[in-house]
Chains A and B, each alone.
Chain A
């Protein structure tokens, strides 16, 4: 797969791997077998999630499972650390916390 202009990352080899179809916020997306979820997402879009505290979008930071900046969600509410999660076909990923849809339980 060649580089996607709208994505953040750029591929530099290992082309020709088999493709895996997944989705980001309901939009269809495609990655390669062997991609981390982080790489697969950042080949498509420019961020993974937004900071909880209002300072903008985040796209991961350490890529080695240490900084915890790249947690995303599945549409069923599971959390995945994108840099240490291999992409799998059929993943339905959300870039926003599903709890935002919860009612305020006061």
Chain B
């Protein structure tokens, strides 16, 4: 069978892959996008929907800023906005020791162009009267917001297809290699795809592909525990989160314009990449509800109508793999976003397209290079 040829093969049709394909096409590259299931069905489609910059790993802020700029232009770029709303994002803390952490972060974030407004107990109460009495300080990021994860990747996928990307869903790649000048990807049903450049955006399955190029990464999969309430009058505009060092205190919520409140946080659930299933664990809900009541007591009367999970991939240092391969020329990676990839998605797509197109990017992504695990592997061998 004759392989289908393009300039770039993108493997994985989540938000990263669809956005990269879209932006590569805008740069005039021919692109094949290969998705094992349906576009945006895994982590991209089931996450919380946070378009949040504050609280991120600081060196990631330039990427997050670039992505935020694209979120604001979705309608113009894609013809639809994936329900993106720049509602602001507020993080509060309960522990006086955490106030210093919030303040230090706000100070450093300013160097990256992210202006955060600090609130003390009084200003917090005056401005956001819905917080419980334990919330003693907060940090407000006025230009962050949220969007609908069920819609974002499919919107990029459709826009990519409209502009000429060859999108193949239900196409599982069982092997990828670079026998000569070109990469050859072979699907489970025998179809072959070939290109001089390959980009792996396969999320939780990215590690299985990088291993084929002898660049293993210690990837782990978990299921975020998500839930949504019945619709309520639309009153809670900003996305709300907790800044804490105690994992079970982590909870975040957002109200969508139709009125439902989406929330998540706390213990993660089991995920199984092989059967493509992750589960919401009923036993985890109790703590989440307790934390929701603590954060916004007025929600105690509302009802949860649905819970879900999805397969997210995590790396031990909690930052993604992103950038060129350390071993194979023409090979690029962008996966393993450790539960915070949604906001970054459009920016990752744009940056990877720039990197592939021009050989470099103006956005610093060096900390995410896959070589950090090669170094680690070598160290552990020598130790």
Direct contact of A and B (CB under 8 A): yes
Q: Which A positions have Cβ atoms within 8 angstroms of B?
A: 52-53, 68, 71, 77-79, 97, 99-100, 102-106
Q: Mark B78-108, 1 if CB is under 8 A from A, else 0.
A: 0000000001100000000000000000000
- B128 pairs with A99, CB closer than 8 A: no
Complex formed: what's the CA distance from A99 to B300 in Å? 12
- B301 pairs with A102, CB closer than 8 A: no
Contacts of B235 in A (CB 8 A): 99, 102-105
Which of A68, A78, A97, A104 touches B232 (beta carbons < 8 Å)? A97
Complex formed: what's the CA distance from A102 to B230 in Å? 17
Complex formed: what's the CA distance from A53 to B258 in Å? 8
At the interface, yes or no: B57 with Cβ under 8 Å from chain A? no
Which of B237, B259, B302 touches A52 (beta carbons < 8 Å)? B259
Closest-CB distance, B229 to chain A (whole angstroms): 11
Complex formed: what's the CA distance from A11 to B230 in Å? 32
Q: What secondary structure prevails in chain B residues at the interface with A?
A: loop
Closest-CB distance, B289 to chain A (whole angstroms): 15
Scoring A99, A100, A103 by chain B CB atoms within 10 A of each residue's CB, the highest score goes to: A99
Q: Mark B280-309, 1 if CB is under 8 A from A, else 0.
A: 000000000000000000100111010000
Closest-CB distance, B239 to chain A (whole angstroms): 12
Contacts of A68 in B (CB 8 A): 230, 305
Q: A100-B233, A102-B235 are in contact. Are A78 and B301 (CB under 8 A)?
A: yes
Closest-CB distance, B22 to chain A (whole angstroms): 32
Given contacts A68-B230, A99-B235, A106-B238, 11 further A-B contacts (CB under 8 A): A53-B231, A71-B230, A77-B301, A79-B303, A97-B232, A100-B233, A102-B233, A104-B237, A105-B128, A105-B237, A106-B88
Complex formed: what's the CA distance from A91 to B316 in Å? 55
Contacts of B233 in A (CB 8 A): 97, 99-100, 102
